[in-house]
Structure 1
Amino acid sequence: MKATHIAAVFCTLLVVLLAKSQVSMAVTCSPVQLSACVSAITTSSPPTQLCCTKIKEQKPCLCQYLKNPNLKKFVDSPNARRVANTCKTPFPKC
């Protein structure tokens, strides 16, 4: 019985890990995807639902964007952080 229990736990863990890796692989880091948020970031207007969706999709990529000097000023601005907070997408600690 003990071996069966361990095998079941192992299989469950394997399924969870495979599911997470598929989600990670599904994200294509493309800063253009955040273009839906430009007006919210540059004019302090509320973010649209599309903007929030795109921020959530691109969240795994934000640290990569912050390392790019051309993107950092856009992604790391106070308004960008406000938009992320409004969309309930906490800014990552890189």
Structure 2
Amino acid sequence: MKMPYDNVAVLIYVVMVLVLIGKAQVSMAAVTCNALQLSPCASAITSSTPPSPLCCSKLKEQRPCLCNYVKDPNLQKLVNSPNARKVASICGSPFPNC
């Protein structure tokens, strides 16, 4: 299935942002916050693709970090988007109240 150029551009942007943010890691309790870990969710967040099991496991793993990601101006639009919240809900990991 061929993706429209708009979706490809958004996906490339998301991956690039996640790679850049992934270089700055913050440790919280037993979780290492690394936005790059959410890259398996990029297609589910930017399109109507259902989240993969890997996406859901990474989302659950990174859940304690989501409020930090929402506060980050580079990630805010992506992480706080309706699609991101929908993916979190589908994965059974409701978005925390930040």
Tell me the TM-score range normalised by the shorter chain.
Answer: 0.7 to 0.9
Instruction: Give the alignment partner of residue 88 of structure 1, picking from 83, 89, 92.
Output: 92
Aligned to 2:7: none
Structure 2 residue identity aligned to 1:42: T
1:45 deviates by: 0.6
**Which deviations, in whole Å up to 9, do the C-alpha atoms of 1:25-68 show, x marking residues without a partner?**
22000000000000001112100000000000000000000000
The aligned runs of 1:1-94 (5 Å cut-off) are 25-94=29-98
Structure 2 residue identity aligned to 1:67: K
Greater helix percent: which structure?
Answer: 1
Distance 1:44 1:82 in 2: 10
Structure 1 ranges of 4+ moved more than 2 A: none
Distance 1:25 1:59 in 2: 12
Please give the secondary structure, in 2, of the residue aligned with 1:70.
coil
Distance 1:27 1:78 in 2: 25
Structure 2 residue identity aligned to 1:32: L
TM-score by length of 2: 0.70
Q: Percent of aligned positions with the same letter in both sequences?
A: 63
- When the two chains are superposed, the root-mean-square deviation of aligned CA atoms in Å is 0.9
Distance 2:49 2:91 in 1: 13
Structure possessing the higher radius of gyration over alpha carbons: 1
